[in-house]
Amino acid sequence: MKRLSLLAAASAAAIVATGVASAAIMTALPTDSWTVTNYYKQAVYDSGQNKIGQVDDVLVDQSGKVTGLVIGVGGFLGMGEKDVIVPFADVSLQKKNDKNWLSINETKDSLKAAPGFTYDRNTTMWSPAKS
C-alpha cells in the first residue's frame, strides 16, 4: 500500500511537472501581433520628428491588452528624467529605414508638464509621483 501511494504521488508530480494539463499551444503567430520590443526602450518623437522621450515601460491590463506606455522625458543621461504615462492608442508605430518609429501628437514641453509617476520595485506598480 505504501508503495502504491508513493507511485501515485510520483505520477501526480510528473503530470504537474510536464504540464500535461496545460493550455493549448499556438502553432501560428496570432494576426496583428506585435512584440513588446517594438515599443520598449524605443525613442518617441513629436509630429515634427523631434525626439521627446523614450519608452520606459509597457502597461498591460489583466486581459493582456496594452493600455499605456510610460515615457521618460527631460533630463540628461537619466538624471532629472520624469516618467509620464500616455494612452497606448495615442502612439503611432511606423517603420522608417528598417527601424521602429514611435510618434505622438504631444510636445516635449506638454509631457514635462504632465503628472509624473514613479515605479515601486516592491509592489511592481507605477504610482503618482510625490510633488
What pLDDT was estimated at residue 17? 52
Give, in degrees to the nearest 5, the angle at Cα 50 between 46 and 52.
65
Please write the tens of the pLDDT for every residue from 96-113: 888 888 999 999 999 999
Architecture of domain 36-128: Roll (2.30)
Report whether 80 contacts 22 (CB < 8 A): no
The percentage of the chain sitting over the pLDDT mark of 90, rounded to a whole number, equals 52
Own/partner long-range contacts of 48-54 (Cβ < 8 Å, ≥24 apart): 49/103, 50/108, 52/104, 52/106, 52/107, 52/108, 52/111, 53/84, 53/108, 53/111
pLDDT band at 8 (very low <50, low <70, confident <90, very high): very low
The percentage of the chain sitting over the pLDDT mark of 70, rounded to a whole number, equals 81
What pLDDT was estimated at residue 22? 63
* Helix (H), strand (E) at residue 120: strand 117-120
Does the pLDDT value for residue 35 go beyond 90?
no
Q: Are strands 99-104 and 43-45 parallel, antiparallel or unpaired?
A: parallel
What average pLDDT does the structure give for the chain? 83
